[in-house]
A = this chain, B = another copy of it.
Amino acid sequence: MLIRVNANKSRASVPTKLTALVGEDSLWHQFKYKRGTEVFGEAEPAAYVYQVSEGAIRTYKLLSDGRRQIGAFHLPGDIFGLENGDVYRFTADAIIETTVWLARRESVFSGLTEISAAATLKVVNKSLEHVENHLLLLGRQTSLEKTASFLLEMDRRLEQPAMMILPMSRRDIADYLGITLETVSRAMSTLRDEGVLSFVGQTQREIILLDRPKLAQLVR
């Protein structure tokens, strides 16, 4: 029996979408970030546009007292840091060791051809759609619904692997869902007790979804 574990590895060889944005002949580089290191900070000049090759990135905003809201997780293939303004509106850092491609931002916005404009709009629009859905989740869903939504999102984006390996901690998930890490933990335990999912080994980050329909039902 074939078991697919966190697909998307194949995308790692070519920066597909980034190339569409900046043009085939533009300069782009690779860079590797250690776990926990910052890629760029909120309000810094937006010099580069990034695409994840391997690993995972979180983008977030902070309140002055340290409260954090994660806006998105970026997985292999995802573009992030594409700002129309001249500064980044989020801080971005590596959740685990992460490799990215990067291209200078000017190479996107300087020569806005009809084609690249459409490509840029498409990328911006996708993040707009994601964040709009996230509004409904943050404002109007319970902690169990939020956790179920999160699992379904990860499941979908990892292309429904037999086993899901989460790169982020319970605290990251909590700050993404607007709840505390304890509440995430309790929701996960509830879902496990109800037979919706099971943990592999003792790590608690390797998850098998046993009942996707039931999970989907929790969301609506």
Footprint of B on A, CB under 8 Å? 61, 63-64, 67-69, 71, 83-85, 89-90, 112-114, 117-118, 120-122, 124-125, 127-129, 131-136, 138-141, 175, 177-178, 220
Contact = CB atoms under 8 A, between A and B. Distances in A.
Given A134-B135, A139-B175, 20 more contacts: A61-B132, A63-B140, A63-B141, A63-B220, A67-B140, A84-B121, A84-B124, A84-B128, A85-B125, A90-B132, A114-B117, A117-B117, A117-B120, A117-B121, A120-B121, A124-B125, A124-B128, A131-B131, A135-B135, A140-B178
A135 B61 contact: yes
Contacts of A118: 112, 117
Total copies of this chain within the assembly: 2
A117 B128 contact: no
A124 B83 CA distance: 11
Contacts of A139: 69, 138, 175, 177-178
Q: 8 closest Cβ contacts across the A-B interface?
A: A139-B178, A117-B117, A84-B125, A138-B138, A69-B136, A69-B139, A67-B140, A138-B139
Contacts of A90: 132
A121 B112 CA distance: 11
SS class, residues of chain A in contact with chain B: helix
Among A83, A127, A128, the one with the most B-chain Cβ atoms within 10 Å of its Cβ is: A128
Contacts of A61: 132-133, 135-136
A132 B64 contact: no
Given A68-B140, A69-B135, A85 B129 contact: yes
Among A71, A139, A141, A178, the one with the most B-chain Cβ atoms within 10 Å of its Cβ is: A139
Contacts of A114: 112-114, 117
A220 B64 contact: yes
Contact of A131 (B84, B128, B178): B128
A113 B135 CA distance: 32
